[in-house]
Amino acid sequence: MKVGIVNVTGYAGLELARLLQSHPEVELTQVTGRSAVGQRLSDVFPHLTGKDLEILPEIVDPVDLVFSALPHKASAEAVAPLVKAGIRVVDISADFRLRNLDIYEKWYQTKHPAPELLQEAVYGSPELHRDDIMRARLVASPGCYPTSAILGMAPVVHLVEPDIIIDSKSGVSGSGRTLTLTNHYSEVNESCQAYSLGGHRHLPEIVQELSWARERGSDVAGKGSLSVIFVPHLVPMTRGILSTIYCRLAIDVPMSDIRERYRQFYHNAPFVRIVDRPPQTKHVWGSNYCVIYPTLDPRTNRLVVISCIDNLVKGASGQAVQCMNLMAGFDEKLGLEATPIYP
């Protein structure tokens, strides 16, 4: 299958190129970039020496599927004509993740360039929407923070009180390659900072998908709509997200039953692992796995869930390739089974 990458020069685009380079059923035939146009991919990024493509200003030759790794708004502008031309698209930006147009325009402070595609787009979490992804022509690959939070809570969100606190810590690559004062080495090194306390753009995405999962629970216990506090933190490492989620059980459920619910919920999810001790971001580094550890504080009847991912793989490009595999009818795991890198 011939595929292209729009904006290969960002971290997500680079990770896509790396993953697709070894995919047995895919040929990466075209890449575009907002910078480095006209240069060879391997000259700009020597670690990709096996794929000597010219970086183009736009996709020009026929392809079967395109990944868009542009920022929001710019991505929708590039994606809309591709979808209308019959090309399947996996969009890594936020442009098609939110079903509600007003919510998108409120949180992203811009008019949506292609609102007519919002209802068609499928949220690209294979663990929640596998069948829809397989039939889709436009898939919105989830955000990195939402991936860790949603996968961490989805199996039990219908059993808890609707007041949920999510504390997430991310490596610096989550903010992209563009240099700013907040991701400058001297500012980030030996420091940890909370940000977007007034509301992070990934919050409505988390609420949307957890509400969807909650409504489908067979025995919803908590009353009322979800109220989620989400506080992201920047920590001095390159890759990884660790989310710690706090919530109170609405009914008495023994810890053994909670763990069994997680295992049953993800029994057909090859990239989710339920573990018996708190995970570290090093346990998923460079891989498409999400590692989850649920535990119960018996003093407060509060559930604490630790969820770890690599923000550039399961949180972005790896999940996008996983969606592509489903859309193309390939084995979901194809090209993604690399063991995490340690240490």
Locate 118 and state its tokens: 């919002």
Round to whole Å and give the CA distance between 104 and 97. Answer: 9
Q: Residues with Cβ < 8 Å from 75, sequence gap 6 or more? A: 6, 68, 69, 91, 92, 93, 95
Q: Which of 144, 247, 308, 323 is catalytic?
A: 144
- Residues 271/322, Cβ–Cβ less than 8 Å: yes
CA distances from 89 to 3, 32, 59 (A): 10, 15, 12
Locate 33 and state its tokens: 């970039």
Locate 283 and state its tokens: 């346990």
Residue with structure tokens 């690959």? Answer: 141
Round to whole Å and give the CA distance between 261 and 280. Answer: 22
144 catalytically annotated: yes
Round to whole Å and give the CA distance between 194 and 199. Answer: 12
- Residues 245/165, Cβ–Cβ less than 8 Å: yes
Radius of gyration of the chain from its Cα atoms, rounded to whole angstroms: 20
Task: State the catalytic residues.
Answer: 144
